[in-house]
Structure 1
């Protein structure tokens, strides 16, 4: 009796096992086969683990995927090979692995056709081609108004405009002598000598120090003129202004004393030479240096309407790229060597308390600078960050080629070996390797020398002898 029951149980177990095997092989209602296959594939696949805080060659920290793998059928290597992948790459691998394959044998065959080009590379090539087409269709703008602001790297930008106008026989707005047309007084059209004006009484390029007077400037500019200027972080600007013009001898104290003098006293200081002092950018733009917040807001509204581009001194190369596209000029036109830049030993350090005082007394300039910095960032984003990076890199490479071609060495502004000395020993100057190269000579000229040079050429052209 017992034997019969055991035999019945055994038969049931065997029959049940047979049914499960059949279901597993042909129907698999529980998905056991799929789980088994997954387990088997995972045992042959790479072991993937995520490692955080991995530092790359540029010193940036990222989370990366590290894969340790060993070749199937070979003896296990004690040193696992590691491959670092970006997260996006890993996601691509996972997506392609999970995608359904219609023909496994077909996918395993060796391809006889070349792999398709990378979509990102194709995008870059297409973008570059479009830019070339735009450049060919674009007409260079030869009418420019550049408001030259004090101690904002404006002499560097000025060199670009003066060279461009000189090489193309364009008419510049120039004073009879010196390098100012107004300031501290506002600009007036009558300030430009008749001998330096064409019959139309209109100039092509204005790139001289002045104090903004939109109505009067419009009288000497073409209607299609592009308005450009440049701004700088106010604390750095004021430090440069104060030390470059040696205001310590005028006021009787240096910047180091500012933190002990009180803001009210500093705000009442008379402007040096009636034109240099606090909120210098506001002053150059034609507004009161002690303007309140409401006046500053109105000034920003006005300036936004006037200027097509406000460059940022701290982002000079990015600004030059934007300038090139605004004017449709060539990369060579944007090559320039830094002008009126103080040598390192003439740049004193400022403590945090003094910087805070400088921010306070230049608060109007601070609002102005923040406004145009945000505008600059917006323009770069609209231009395209990657595209901007490529063009900045190309501009720097081209500038370096000119430097190798033109510059024998950098030296102090009063070095006896200079062809054209600077007006101060505080600034850098360039000893030219080839004095017969016109481009090199123009690039190396100091501001005053270049202005005198173009003024003589313009006077000869507009007032020929006899």
Structure 2
């Protein structure tokens, strides 16, 4: 009797297991049929680069289980189009710190911290890589071309693609009135135009801006739509609405992320996600605070005149401000939680490194932070505080160790490698104030 009961139990277990396997097999079979059908309809599966999150997404943005459970890969091929007076120096320092501590290969200017403020980028601004000694370089340098470009130069996509292949492209822009006022003060335009005795030099300038612009003073090209000029549009096109609109749509299709100065921390969270970086990678210290002597008061009437004078930059800013908030809305994960976590770590870093009782006032145009006396030997704090100029000098010296930027380095053209373009998008987006 006992043997019979045992036999019945074994048979029951076998039947249950067979039923379970059949159900699971049918479920997975249905899933793969449905998934294959969706892939056929929606096209090639999109690559996932969502931070450390595991995902596997198709072009209709529906998440499905990832069979490989693969994480994103840290991005280290980057072109940063460094605009003027947009907090770009602070952002450049973040990118330069990332590349410097990883021994990446920089496309750096031969002197100073800018290739040019007026010329479009050209590959001949760089030395040939034929003399490169790759010993000590990051392993990913086995790919051809440079890793990063962060110095000032005007946007020229084909030439940039020629030296940094398959890179992520990013830049930063600022509210046009604030950008204009900052440029006017920092570049001391009043001094170059003989307006220092005027009560408000900007107000005087805005009475006859074209007359002053025609004088071609120092940095005059930054005195009207300076941000679009940095991004490759020429002055003669600024008043052509359709040319400006087309340029903005082109930039939208070619840049992976456009950061906004007024939402710097929020923009950095998007940058972190895009690049698959850590919170520590995006920590920063503001590289300069403009002195009160180089600031100007602006009333509503004057602001309106400046916006009209910089109407192309207003179109640019409006478009990418809307784009920023669209990206934040579509952020995968808890954006507010990540932002709060970053700001907490940012404050901890500032508290650890920065002396809140002293400032560096050596430059009449701006004041800068300094390290606490007991943190001057901290590598972490040194890397955090170091600005774009200091990083550029360090990086150039390191590139010389790799055989580049030497007087004997021959010039040789680098072949252009085409980069797939994202489709243009002209859809209207809502603005978040």
TM-score after normalising by structure 2: 0.70
CA 1:309–1:241: 2 relative to 1, 3 Å: same
**Residue 134 in structure 1 maps to residue 76 in structure 2:** no
Larger relative contact order (Cα-Cα within 8 Å, sequence gap ≥ 6):
2
Counterpart for residue 218 of structure 2: 272
Separation in structure 2 between the aligned mates of residue 262 and residue 248 of structure 1, nearest angstrom: 14
- 1:133 deviates by 4.2
User: What is the alpha-carbon distance in structure 2 between the residues aligned to residue 196 and residue 269 of structure 1?
Assistant: 44
In structure 1, distance between residues paired with 2:261 and 2:194 = 30
Conserved 8 A contact 1:337-1:444: yes
- The answer to whether the Cα contact below 8 Å between 2:51 and 2:275 also exists between their aligned partners in 1 is no
Paired position in structure 2 for 1:204: 147
Name 1:334's counterpart in structure 2. 282
Q: 1:269 to 1:298 in 2, by over 3 A?
A: farther
Task: Give the secondary-structure state (helix, strand or coil) at the position aligned to 2:83.
Answer: coil
Q: 1:197 to 1:256 in 2, by over 3 A?
A: farther
Point out where structure 1 has 5 or more consecutive residues left out of the alignment. Answer: 1-129, 416-422
**Does residue 395 in structure 1 map to residue 374 in structure 2?**
no
Q: Which moved more, 1:318-327 or 1:244-253?
A: 244-253
1:255 paired residue among 202, 205, 210: 202
Q: Judge conservation of contact 1:196–1:459 (CA < 8 Å) in 2.
A: no
1:277-316 aligned at under 5 Å gives the runs 277-290=223-236, 291=238, 292-316=240-264
- 2:295 corresponds to which residue? 347
Equivalent residue, structure 1, for 2:369: 429
- Which residue does 2:65 correspond to in 1? none
Deviation at 1:266, TM superposition (A): 5.2
Alpha-carbon shift at residue 462 of structure 1 (Å): 3.8
1:318 maps to which of 266, 271, 274: 266
Note the alpha carbon deviations across 1:428-453, whole angstroms, 9 max, x for none.
Answer: 22234412211211221232122111
Distance change >3 Å, CA 187–CA 322, structure 1 → 2: same
CA distance in 1, matches of 2:98, 2:51: 22
Give yes or no for the alignment of 1:414 onto 2:361. Answer: yes
How far residue 409 of structure 1 moved from its aligned partner, in angstroms, is 2.9
Alignment of 1:49-448 (within 5 A): 132-134=52-54, 137-194=71-128, 198=132, 202-223=145-166, 225-253=167-195, 254-259=201-206, 261-262=207-208, 264-265=210-211, 268=214, 270=216, 272-273=218-219, 275-290=221-236, 291=238, 292-344=240-292, 346-383=294-331, 387-409=334-356, 411-414=358-361, 423-424=363-364, 426-432=366-372, 433-448=374-389
Contact 1:198–1:462 (CA<8 Å) still a contact in 2?
yes
Deviates more, 1:311-320 or 1:339-348: 339-348
Match of 2:41 in 1: none
SS at match of 2:339: helix
In 2, Cα distance between equivalents of 1:395 and 1:456: 32
Q: Distance in 2 between matches of 1:463 and 1:230?
A: 29
Q: CA deviation at 1:460?
A: 1.5
Q: Is the 8 A contact 1:144 1:227 kept in 2?
A: yes
Deviation of 1:194 after TM superposition, in Å, equals 3.7
- Taking structure 1 as reference, are residues 201 and 184 closer, same or farther at Cα in structure 2, changes over 3 Å only? farther
CA offsets per residue over residues 69-126 of structure 1, 9 Å max, x none?
Answer: xxxxxxxxxxxxxxxxxxxxxxxxxxxxxxxxxxxxxxxxxxxxxxxxxxxxxxxxxx
Is the CA contact 1:148–1:208 (under 8 Å) kept in the aligned structure 2? Answer: yes
Separation (CA, whole Å) in 1 of partners of 2:293 and 2:125 = 38
C-alpha contact (below 8 Å) 1:263/1:357 kept by paired residues: no
CA distance in 2, matches of 1:267, 1:425: 23
Alignment partner of 2:361: what SS? Answer: coil
Query: How far does residue 152 in structure 1 lie from its aligned partner after superposition?
Result: 0.7
CA RMSD of aligned residues (A): 2.6
Runs of 4 or more above 6 Å deviation: none
Q: Match of 1:459?
A: 400
Residues paired across the two proteins, number: 326
Structure 1 residue 275: Cα displacement: 4.1
Quick check: 2:359–2:369 contact (8 Å CA) kept in 1?
yes
Instruction: Give the C-alpha shift of residue 343 in structure 1.
Output: 4.1
Moved more, 203-212 or 135-144: 135-144
Alignment correspondent of 1:90: none
